Amino acid sequence: MDSQFGAAAESVDPTLEADVFVKNCTSRPVLQNVAGRWGTLALVALRAGPIRFSALRRRVDGVSERMLSQTLQALERDGMVHREVHETIPPKVEYTLTELGAQVAEHLETLIHLIEANMPTIHQAQASYRRD
C-alpha cells in the first residue's frame, strides 16, 4: 500500500500547472503549511539565521513542543526548512531556511509588517463591527 501511495504522489503530471484554488491540487497543503498558524511564525523567525529547537520555541511565543515539532516536520518535508544534526556531545540540532523557504519567509515577513503597521485601522474596524 505504501508503494502505491508513493507511486501516486510521484506520478504528478508535470505539465499540469499548480492551482491552489483547485481542491485537490498538491499546492494547497503546501500553502497551508507555510501560511498556517505556526508555519508563518516559524519561517519568519528562521530568517534570523540557524536556530535550535528550544530557541525557536521561545521566539514563537505560545507554541507547544508538539505543535512546533509537527510544523517543522511539515516545512522540512515541503523543502522550506533544513534540519541539520551536528555530531557534538550532546548532539546539536539546528534549523535553517532553504533557498525556497527564504523566499517564502521574506513574503510572509512583508505581510506581517503590513498587518502590524495597520493595527490602528484594524482596531477601528473591529470596534465599529461590534457596534453594528
Does 110 help bind its own copies (rule: CB under 8 A)? yes
How far apart are CB 92 and its own copies at their closest, in Å? 19
Minimum gap (Å) between residue 94 Cβ and its own copies: 17
Lookup result for grid cell 527564504:
102
Contact status: 78 vs its own copies (CB under 8 A): yes
For its own copies, the closer of residues 40 and 71 by Cβ is 40
16 vs 68: CA distance, rounded Å: 33
According to DSSP, the β-strands at 81-86 and 51-52 are unpaired
The residue with cell 507555510 is 34
Pairing between β-strand 92-97 and β-strand 81-86 as defined by DSSP bridges: antiparallel
31 by DSSP, 3-state: which?
A: helix
Shortest reach from residue 53's CB to its own copies, in Å? 16
For residues 30 and 52, give the distance between their C-alpha atoms in angstroms, rounded to a whole number.
23
| 130 touches its own copies by CB under 8 A | yes
Q: Which residues bind its own copies (CB under 8 A)?
A: 6, 9-10, 12, 14, 17-23, 26-27, 30-32, 34-37, 40-41, 45, 59-62, 76-79, 98, 100, 103-104, 107-108, 110-112, 114-127, 129-130
